Structure formats: structure tokens, C-alpha cells
Amino acid sequence: MIEDQRRAPIYEALNEYKRNRIVSFDVPGHKQGRGNKRLTDFLGQACLDVDVNSMKPLDNLCHPTGVIKEAEELAAEAFGAAHAFFMVNGTSSAVQAMIMSVCKRGDKIIMPRNVHRSAINALIITGAIPVYVNPGMSKEIGISLGMKIADLEAAIKKHPDAKAILVNNPTYYGICSNLKRIVALGHQSGMKVLVDEAHGTHLYFGEDLPVNAMAAGADMAAVSTHKTGGSLTQSSLLLLGKAMNADYVRQVINLTQTTSGSYLLMSSVDIARSELAIHGKEIFKKVVEMADYARQEINKIQGLYAFSRELCNGDDLYDFDITKLSIHTRQMGLAGIEVYDILRDDFDIQIEFGDIGNILAIISVGDRPFEIERLIAALAEISRTASKDPSGLYDHEYIDPEVVYSPQAAFYANKKAVAIEETEGMVCAEFVMCYPPGIPILAPGEKITKDILEYIDFAKEKGCVLTGTEDMDLNYLNIVEVE
């Protein structure tokens, strides 16, 4: 297996293409960069040389029979899947393909409400009906957790006709559900189990990490190789278990994925997969060591709490991804987004995101010890100079939704724009979310409540980037117009 995994068929085919010095009368029009010198100077000749179109020696992403097929087979082997698809429209398209492969209009799908917007987008596209299971909540750190098994069992009992269960595991913060138990419950009830594993590439290769979706027996998993696996931004994998019809799933993927698959993205997944398969244990051992060290040092700083497995409760916080450096900031009197902004503006440190009460720093093999020290020092300085009275800060970042219409019905309904302060009691016809992480505060079809409006005001005041609305300034909300 290891010898096979040293291969990278797409990478090898691109090198052969360069050696052959092919004369190009196809797209892209920059012709190996000759037609756009400024772009070539910026990205480099080596990059432009392999920004090419599909052709027989390089295969075709929509119908792979050659080197892309070989690369996908190697990826499936490395990740323990029955089949793997290369995705170049991001993991959002992989999440949508999962749902579109098992649900049609009117079908029910059980999912936690703290899903990424891509999952709800898939409901708008398909017309599937969500059965939301409210996630658990941590009073200590104010974030949503996984699904409680008892709540999932109740949802299955109430909706035995549901076609699938969707789980986001791990969450952005690193929270993991009891994935094996969820898979068992779903399969006992004849439901497919889909896992949004965007933040879990490393779970397939590291040691002493939470169980990955394929090992847990899930039917499909969407994996962002670009987030923690080392491939280029927007590249991803869709993994299938044995029960799925790969040929049908390919047809579903091709409904929305580009017919001009980027060989830069595909070759980056190919190379990253090879590196992970050969060196993954070593890579993520270093990552865990850096994250553990950072947690220990940050937890010595007044007002900060870098949480980990000590919060595990065996249910809605079944396990924790110890590569994640998730830090609670509320006791310092600062919202996470405020700490995010200070780190960027005053210390030239870019972290992944900040929300109402937490920040997340992504640690990878590309990080170096002195950069970890720089982050720790900056946080210590912020604690010393910027701490405030924490009273008045929100103590949670999730509000239970009241669903009135399906996402599809609300999104395509007759709608009108109403001043946001006048929308209480109305039904939202669009998304409102802080991005990242891209979990909707409001989704189409949900009732607008006083609590939600106060939360939006607080998020705006603290500097969160609120997205999803037609009105870019969020002074107005589109609401469902009642006839």
C-alpha cells in the first residue's frame, strides 16, 4: 500500500505534459502564461504551465477513466473509503452532493441546526425537509455541541420515514459527537448517515484522534483536504461507504460541479494525499504537540481558556479534536471577534475566526514553534492591556430556531424587504450568518424573534462580518410576504 501511495498520478501526468512541450490551441487562453505576463509574474511560470484543460492524457473530472480515476482510487484506499471523488467546487459542493444523492423534494433529513450554510443550501436546491435536532449547549464556553443521543433517538422515532441523518463532525471548534452510535442508530432505521467532515482530514492519519467517518461506518463524508490536509484552497474529497452507488453519486456531483476542473486543485489533492498517507502520523504528531503546548501556555493567561478533552461528557461532547486551538475569551471581557481584530490589527497575526465568545487558531504542520510563541505572547499582552468587565457579554452563540416553512418554500416565496428592527414575529426569507464559521443565525423559513434580533445587533456592534442577506449592510431583511 505505501509504495502505491507514493504515486501521484495527476501530478505525474502533468509533468509528462510539460516534458512533451505540447502546442496549445485549446483553453485556457493565457497559453501557459504567455498571454498574461503580470499573472505569470505573480503566480509563477510553473503554476501557469499546468493550468490546463482536460485532454485524453490528463483525463476528465466529470467522467474519469485514466489518471484521475487512478488518483481517486488511491485516495479511497488512503482514507479507507469504498470510493473517493475529487471535488474542485469546495467542500460546500461535497456537502450538497451528499444530500442531493439521498434526498429529493419532500424527503426528510435529520440534522443538527448548527450546520454549515451549504447543508441548508442543499435543502433549498432539493426541497428536502429538515428535521432539526437542537445541539447541546455548553454553559461554560457558550458554544453549541453535538447531538445528544436521546434527542436523536426521539427524532428518529418521531420521523421514521426520514431518508438520512447529517452530522457535522468535528465542528469548527473541534467538538465531536458519538459518531459510531449515530451511524448504528441511522442504519438500524434504514437511514443513510452523512458526515460533514470539513474540518477532519487529519482524523484519517493522526493517532489518538477522534474516530473518522469511514471508520465509524458512515455512508458518505465531505472532507476539506485544503483545511488541514495541505492541498490548495477550494480542493476537497467526497468519500463513499460500500452501500452507496458511486456511479449515481457521480451523476449528482456533475449536476453542479464545474466541467472545467482545475488541474492545480486536483494535483494538489493528489500530492497532499500521498504525503498524508506516507507521513501523516508524523505530521499530526507534531501538530498535536504544538496545539497541546499552546493550550498549556494560554491557560496560564488571565481571562483565557483553551479548552480540550477535559470537557468531554460521553454524549453531546463525546470527544474533542486536540489539534484545534479553540480559546474562550469571555472572562477577559472581550468577544472573540474583538480579540480576532486586535490580533490582526495590532500584532499582524491572522487567526481563523472569532465569534461572540471564542477564537480559533488553526495549527498545522506548516506552523513553527516561534510563531506559536508569538501568538501566546500577543494573547498575554491583550489580556494585560485590553481586558474589561465581562458583564454584558453574550454567554451563548446559539438560539433555538422556530421553523415555519421549509428552506426551499421560504427562499422562493414572495418576499419583501423590511427594516430589520421591524421584523420581529415575521418569517425570514434569506440567511443571516457570521462568516466564518458560516452557521446561520437565521435561515430561510425561520421566525424572527426578539432574541435573534438582539443577537444580530450585538454581533454587528462587536464587529462580526454578517453575510447572506440581499442588503449588504443588513439594515433590511427579506421576509416571507403573507398573502
In tens, the pLDDT along 378-427 reads 999 999 999 999 887 776 666 788 899 999 999 999 999 999 999 999 99
Name the nearest CA neighbour of 144 among 401, 343, 464.
401
Percent of the chain scored above 90 by pLDDT? 85
pLDDT of the residue at 396: 67
**Residue-by-residue DSSP string for 239-288:** EE-TTS-HHHHHHHHHHHS-SS--HHHHHHHHHHHHHHHHHHHHHHHHHH
pLDDT attached to residue 377: 98
Q: What is the pTM of this model?
A: 0.95
**120 phi/psi in degrees, rounded to 5:** -70, -35
According to DSSP, the β-strands at 164-168 and 192-197 are parallel
Domains of the chain (ranges; CATH) run 2-277 (3.40.640.10), 407-480 (3.90.105.10)
pLDDT digits (tens, 9 = 90+) for 324-354: 999 999 999 999 999 999 999 999 999 999 9
Containing 236, the helix (H) or strand (E) segment is strand 236-240
Nearest C-alpha neighbor of 402 from the set 447, 456, 440, 441: 447
Q: Which residue has the higher pLDDT, 392 or 440?
A: 440
Tens of pLDDT, residue by residue over 4-32, are 999 999 999 999 999 998 888 889 999 99
**Peptide bond preceding 436 in cis form (omega within 30 of 0):** yes
How does pLDDT run across 21-68, given as a tens digit for each residue?
888 888 999 999 999 999 999 999 999 999 999 999 999 999 999 999
